[in-house]
Amino acid sequence: MPNSNENAVQTHLRDLRKHVEKGKSVPEQQLIFDPSTGQLALARTESRPLDPDTVVADQIAEEGFFS
């Protein structure tokens, strides 16, 4: 069951940033976006998305943000 707890999602973003900086992939969990709720959530990496419209957000976050 995806975890949409705000603290867990924000911690994942912080950890993802650290992992990208070190050139590592993030294990176990990935950030997903459920368009039906508009919420970001965490799901186990090996689990299949619950809904075919669910989008993996990690890749977009990993690209970085230009500033």
Partner 1 sequence: MGWTNEQQHRLLMEKQILSKYFPQFRWIDPAGKAKVEGVFHTNAGNSYKIRVYVPSDFPNSTPDMVVISPDPLLDYDRNDLSDEDTNPDMHIVGVKDGYIKICHYHPGSWQPSITLYKVLFKGRIWVEAFDAHLKTGKKLDKYLHHWVNN
**Beta carbon nearer to partner 1, 6 or 28:** 6
- Is the Cβ–Cβ distance between 41 and 54 less than 8 Å? no
CB of 44 to partner 1, least distance (A): 18
**Beta carbon nearer to partner 1, 27 or 64:** 64
Q: Which residues bind partner 1 (CB under 8 A)?
A: 4-6, 9-10, 13-14, 17, 20-21, 33, 35, 38-41, 53, 55, 57, 60-61, 63-67
- Is the Cβ–Cβ distance between 44 and 66 less than 8 Å? no
- Of 38, 31, 26, 28, which is closest to residue 8 (Cα–Cα)? 31
| Dist. CA 18–CA 11, nearest whole Å | 11
**Beta carbon nearer to partner 1, 13 or 50:** 13
